[in-house]
Amino acid sequence: MRQPWKSISQCLRLPIICALCNEYHRGFLAICDACQLTLPTIGPACFHCALPLPEGHFLICGHCCKNPPIVDHVIAAYRFDEPLRRLLHEFKYYEGLYLSSFLASLMTSHLSADALSTECLIPIPLHPKRLRERGFNQAAELTKHLSRTLQIPYNVTHCIKIIHTPAQAHLNAHERQKNLQKAFKTDPLPYEHVTLIDDLLTTGSTVHALANLLKQQGIRRVDVWCCARVISSP
């Protein structure tokens, strides 16, 4: 496997300042090894939705048993809690592109051989207006890093967002689902197994809307990889 791209400072083994503890370290990523250990993991999680389970003997939650989701497999090993929440906000809303390789590494460290059988990585698209406002698509940046590291093709043109919907952040699950009706357009792809990439999975409304469109066009398996998963309080 080809090694990930490295910056000049990384090639010269110059010390890097950790974005969390502000201490120098000689790793290759923006976060030092000690701070990485503080990131909140989910632990045993449902194969289909990545919500936590009490134990790891049967990895499908009751809800997914009764209502099999359109998405086949979700991998999101970390909770959307501090300090990862702060890093994801920095990356997404404050142009923290220096975090992209670190966040991509969080995803690759939890991938199984089964997940790596995917044929193409597809970032969750942004509407052109939102893309102009933000300046970049955080999902596309993660996808490029993952593609380069894992040597899996990616596609940023076959799934597009055609309706500029209100921001999802403050909507509940029902409002998110309604918000996304007919919001996306997908062109046929010559694959049977693809993976959608995003930084965060909240209710799953966006990935389910896209997965439904992709399966209507003949794709048999749609997975989702994210850096973190929102875990609602009971």
Please report, for residues 10, 24, 140, 141, the alpha-carbon distance to residue 134 in angstroms, rounded to integers and kept in the order given.
28, 30, 13, 13
Going from N- to C-terminal start, the domains of the chain cover: 1-38, 41-229
Q: What is the pLDDT of residues 176-198, one digit of tens each?
A: 555 566 789 988 889 999 999 99
What is the pLDDT, as a whole number, of residue 175?
53
Place of tokens 């702060």: 86
Bridge partners for 146 per DSSP: none
Model confidence at 208: pLDDT above 70: yes
Q: What is the pLDDT of residues 41-95, one digit of tens each?
A: 999 999 999 999 998 789 999 999 999 999 999 999 999 999 999 999 999 999 8
Q: Using an 8 Å Cβ cutoff, are 76 and 42 in contact?
A: yes
Q: Using an 8 Å Cβ cutoff, are 60 and 48 in contact?
A: yes
pTM score over 0.75:
yes
Model confidence at 1: pLDDT above 90: no
41-229 sits in which CATH class? alpha beta
